[in-house]
Structure 1
Amino acid sequence: MKYRSIGDLSVSSLGLGCMGMSEYYGTQNDEESIATLHYALELGVNFFDTADQYGVGKNEELVGQALKNVRQQINIATKFAFVRDESGKVMQINGSPEYVKKACEASLRRLNTDYIDLYYLHRVDPSVPIEETVGAMKELVEEGKVRHIGLSEVSSQTIKRAQKVHPIAALQTEYSIWTRDIEEEILPLCRKLNIAVVPYSPLGRGFLSGKIKSVDKFVENDFRRNAPRFQGGNFNQNLSLIRQLEDIANQLNISPAQLALIWLMSDGEDIIPIPGTKRRSYLKENIAAIDFELPNDVKDFINKAIPVGSAVGDRYPVHSMKLLNQ
C-alpha cells in the first residue's frame, strides 16, 4: 500500500467507500460487507468513508462493529446534514450548530468510537451561514471529538468562507474521467489552500468499470435506475465513451476500472479516491491499480478521447442537483 496525506492523517492512496454496503446499490449482505472491510485491512487500506444517512445510520453501525478492534490503526470519515425519517425519506438538510453537535454524538455512538478522524458537512444548509456550521464543527475539534473538518459538494466561495473559520482538511466531491467540474475553479483553490480532494464515485457509479452493459439487471431500488446518465439515450451515448476506455485498458493489460482510478491518482498526491464496493473481488481489483504508473501520453490520449463535458446527462435527478456545489 502507498499512502497520502489529509492534514496530519496518513491515509491509504485509495480509501474504501462503504455506502453501498447498506443502501442505494441493490441488495445488502452484511456478512460479505464485513468480510470486505476486513480484507481491506489486509490489503493495507486504512481510510474508510461512511455517513450518518447511509442506511439511516446502519452503515456507521456496520463500519463501527467491523473495525472496532483496529480503531487506533485506521482513519474513519463520516458526514452529517441529511435528516431522514425511519422510512428513509429525506426531511431536510440541517447545518445548524445545535444539529452539528447532536449529529456528531449520534455518529460517535454508532461508530463505537470517541473521536472521528474526518468529519464532513455532507451538503450545505442554505438557511444557515457556513460560518455558523463550521464554527460548531470547530468546537468539536477543540473538544477532541473530531480531528479534521471536511466539506462535501461546495462552491469555491463556500470553501473560502469556511477556511476563515477553521482549516478545511478535505473536500469530498464527485470526480472521475466523466465528471470533471472541479478542475476549472475548485481543484486549483483546494491546492492553493492545501485541501486534499477525496473523489467519490471515481468509477462513475460502476459505469467506468465496463461491467455495466444494461440497466435491466439493476434491482428495483438501485439508485442508478433514476440517475440521468443511466437512462435511455443517455446510457447508450455514455456506453460509447466507455468502449474507448476499454480499448485503452486492454492495450495496457489492465481493467477499465483500474485505468479510471490510475487516471485520477496520477493527477496529484492530494487526490485520494474512495471507490465503493461491497465485494472482496472488486476491492482486490481496485487496490491493484495503485501499483501502476500511467504514462503521460496515455493520460493525454484519454483526455482527448473523453473530454470534459462529454458524459451525457446530469449527475443526479433534478432535486439532488440543486444541492451540489452550494
Structure 2
Amino acid sequence: MNYNILGNSNLDISEIAFGCMSLGSNATENETLIKQALDKGINFFDTADLYQHGENERQLGAALKDRRNEAIIATKVGNQWRNDGSGWDWNPSPEYIVKAVEDSLRRLGVEYIDLYQLHGGTMEDPIDDIVDTFEQLQHQGKIRYYGISSIRPNVIKEWVQRSNMSSVMMQYSLLDRRPEEDMLPLLNKHNIGVLARGSVAKGLLAGKPAEPYLNYSATEVGKMANAVLKFSEGKRTPAQTALCYILGEPAVRAAVVGIRTLTQLEEAAGLPATTPLTSADRLLLGYELVANYYDQHR
C-alpha cells in the first residue's frame, strides 16, 4: 500500500481509504472486513454520525477496538437526525458540534478522533465560530485535525481563507472533473489534502450499464467507460484505472472507496500492485470528454 501525508497534518494515510458508508447490516461480517482491510495496509477509515443513525460509527469502533493504534479514524458532523427519525436537518452550530463530538467519541469507543469533518457547508454558516469550535476541540485533545466535506467552491474558498483545515472531501472522477478547474490547484497550493469520493461514478466506470450522469448523456458515459476499459486491458480492472486517474492528481491524498465485500476490498487494496497509469494515459483519458464545471455555488 502507498501512503500520503494528509495536507498540513501528520496523518500518514493509505491512498485507498475505506468508505464505511457502504457497509451492510451484518456487524460480524463488517468487523471481519475492516480487520482484513487493516491486514492489507488500509489504515484510513471514513464514517459519519449520520450513517445508520450512528450505528456505522459503533460498528467501526467495535471492529477497531483492539487495533486502534493501527487505524486513522475520520468522521463527520453537521447533519442532525430529527427526534422522530423522519430525516435530518443541517445544524452546524457550535453548540451542536460540541455535543455531537462527545456522541461520536462514545459510539466509536475512542478517546480522540483523528479527522473531524463538517459534513457539508453553506455560505450562511457561522464559519468563524465553527472553526473556533474545531480548534478548541483540538486543544482539548478530542480531535487531532479537522476538515470539511463539500463540493461547493464558494464554501471551500471561505474555509481556505478562514481556517487551518487539513482536508476537503469532494466528489471527483473521470465523469466529474469539476474540481480540476480551480479547486484542486487552490487546495494543492495551500497544502490542504483532497479526499476523493465517487471515483467510479456509481459504478458507471466499472461495468455498470451506461446512464446519464451529471451533464453527460448515456452515450457520453458509455464512451468514457469504453475508454477506461481500453486502458485497463491486461493491466488492471476498470475500477482500478478509474482510481489511478484521480490519484494521479497531486492534490488528492486518498481515494475514499465504498467497500462492502471481500472482492471489492481485494480490488481496491490491490491497486498498488498493478501497472501504473502513465501521465500520457491520464491525459488521453481526459480527452475523451469535455471536462465539466461547477455551475452553482461559484
Q: TM-score, normalised by structure 2?
A: 0.90
Q: Is the 8 A contact 2:41 2:269 kept in 1?
A: no
Please report how far the alpha carbon of residue 71 of structure 1 lies from its aligned counterpart in structure 2 after TM superposition: 0.7
Q: How does 1:8-157 map to 2 (within 5 A)?
A: 8-22=10-24, 28-85=25-82, 88-125=85-122, 127-153=124-150, 155-157=152-154
Counterpart position of 1:2:
2
Please report how far the alpha carbon of residue 125 of structure 1 lies from its aligned counterpart in structure 2 after TM superposition: 4.9
AA at the equivalent of 2:142: K
The structure 1 residue matched to 2:241, chosen from 259, 268, 274, is: 259
3-state DSSP of counterpart to 1:92: strand
Q: Does 1:229 align with 2:213?
A: yes
Q: Deviations over 1:84-123 (max 9, x none)?
A: 2366533311110000101101100111101000000001
Q: Is the 8 A contact 2:123 2:155 kept in 1?
A: no
AA at the equivalent of 1:189: L
Unaligned runs of 5+ in 2: none
Separation of aligned partners in 1, 2:27 and 2:179: 34
Unaligned runs of 5+ in 1: 23-27, 216-227, 315-320
Q: Is the 8 A contact 2:4 2:12 kept in 1?
A: yes
Q: How does 1:142-291 map to 2 (within 5 A)?
A: 142-153=139-150, 155-163=152-160, 165-210=162-207, 212-213=208-209, 229=213, 234-235=217-218, 237-250=220-233, 252-268=234-250, 270-291=252-273
3-state DSSP of counterpart to 2:121: coil
Structure 1's 301 and 122: CA in aligned 2 closer, same or farther, altered over 3 A? same
Structure 1's 288 and 57: CA in aligned 2 closer, same or farther, altered over 3 A? same
Counterpart position of 2:277:
294
AA at the equivalent of 1:5: I
Q: Deviations over 1:230-279 (max 9, x none)?
A: 9xx955652343122112212x4311001011111122264311111111
3-state DSSP of counterpart to 2:173: coil
Structure 1's 125 and 91: CA in aligned 2 closer, same or farther, altered over 3 A? farther
Structure 1's 204 and 115: CA in aligned 2 closer, same or farther, altered over 3 A? same
The structure 1 residue matched to 2:286, chosen from 303, 306, 313, is: 303
Structure 1's 97 and 167: CA in aligned 2 closer, same or farther, altered over 3 A? same
Q: Deviations over 1:268-294 (max 9, x none)?
A: 264311111111111111121123321
Q: How does 1:306-321 map to 2 (within 5 A)?
A: 306-309=289-292
Separation of aligned partners in 2, 1:175 and 1:88: 31
AA at the equivalent of 2:131: V
Further displaced range: 154-163 or 255-264 = 154-163
Please report how far the alpha carbon of residue 14 of structure 1 lies from its aligned counterpart in structure 2 after TM superposition: 1.0
Structure 1's 98 and 36: CA in aligned 2 closer, same or farther, altered over 3 A? same
Percent identity, aligned pairs only, is 30
Separation of aligned partners in 1, 2:68 and 2:186: 32
Structure 1's 238 and 86: CA in aligned 2 closer, same or farther, altered over 3 A? farther
Give structure 1 regions of 4+ aligned residues with deviation exceeding 6 angstroms. Answer: none
Counterpart position of 1:317:
none
Q: Deviations over 1:12-69 (max 9, x none)?
A: 11111010115xxxxx333332221111011011100000001111110110011111
RMSD (Å) for aligned C-alpha atoms:
2.5
Structure 1's 234 and 32: CA in aligned 2 closer, same or farther, altered over 3 A? farther
Structure 1's 302 and 52: CA in aligned 2 closer, same or farther, altered over 3 A? same
Structure 1's 261 and 47: CA in aligned 2 closer, same or farther, altered over 3 A? same
3-state DSSP of counterpart to 1:229: coil
AA at the equivalent of 2:225: I
Separation of aligned partners in 2, 1:54 and 1:88: 12
Q: Deviations over 1:183-206 (max 9, x none)?
A: 112111111110000001111122
Separation of aligned partners in 2, 1:88 and 1:207: 32
Separation of aligned partners in 2, 1:112 and 1:93: 25
